Structure 1
Amino acid sequence: MVALLVIGILFLVAGLSLRYWINRRKFYRLGPLGAEGFSSYKSSVFIKFIERIGKWIAYALIIYGLLSIGTYYWEKRNPEKQKVQKVK
């Protein structure tokens, strides 16, 4: 049961840090006029595609982490299920 809490926290931290890292890279790529600077069109398309996939992975990690933490607290508050597990 404690494993759910640990896994939830790890996935939540991983997802938030991935989002932070992607947004930080995008921020430092901005030029003085607010336009993103890339060395070529190919790198622009590739980097934006990878960052989009990374953001979806980060969202999935955050949602899974929150669901794991929620499941941990839901099982902690449900004493009937804990009694059934102790009897077996």
Structure 2
Amino acid sequence: MSPALVLSIIALLSGFGLRYWINRRKFYRRSPTGAEVFSSYEKSVFISFLERMGKWTAYVLIVLGLLFFWSHSRQKKEKDKEVQIEVQNPK
């Protein structure tokens, strides 16, 4: 396995995992009426800020994972093309 593929898998899993974890926490923090419940205003502001930053981090990880995967596919195509040229034109 190439390093780009490994980094792609790690970044994608981390990004989707982080989004899942944040959304799950948000879901379980809701009351029966659907409103989020916090013990204090400060906690509400702090947690909302951290979750917003966490979601942006997850988006960045997902985009990086896709870019690494794209890079891996481009490297594989170039390598396959080189092998095909060597087979057609042996020295």
Identify the TM-score tier after normalising by the shorter chain: 0.7 to 0.9
Deviation at 1:9, TM superposition (A): 0.3
1:82 to 1:64, Cα distance in 2 relative to 1, 3 A: farther
Which residue matches 1:37? 37
Output the TM-score relative to the length of structure 1. Answer: 0.87
Output the TM-score relative to the length of structure 2. Answer: 0.85
Percent identity, aligned pairs only, is 54
* Count of aligned positions: 83
Cα separation, 1, equivalents of 2:82 and 2:33:
59
Runs of 4+ in 1 over 6 A off after TM superposition: none
Deviation at 1:82, TM superposition (A): 5.4
Unpaired runs of 5+ in structure 2? 84-91
Which residue matches 2:27? 27
Deviation at 1:79, TM superposition (A): 3.7
Which residue matches 1:4? 4
List per-residue Cα deviations over 1:8-45 (Å, max 9, x = no partner): 10010000000000000000001000000000000000
1:5-84 aligned at under 5 Å gives the runs 5-79=5-79
Unpaired runs of 5+ in structure 1? 84-88
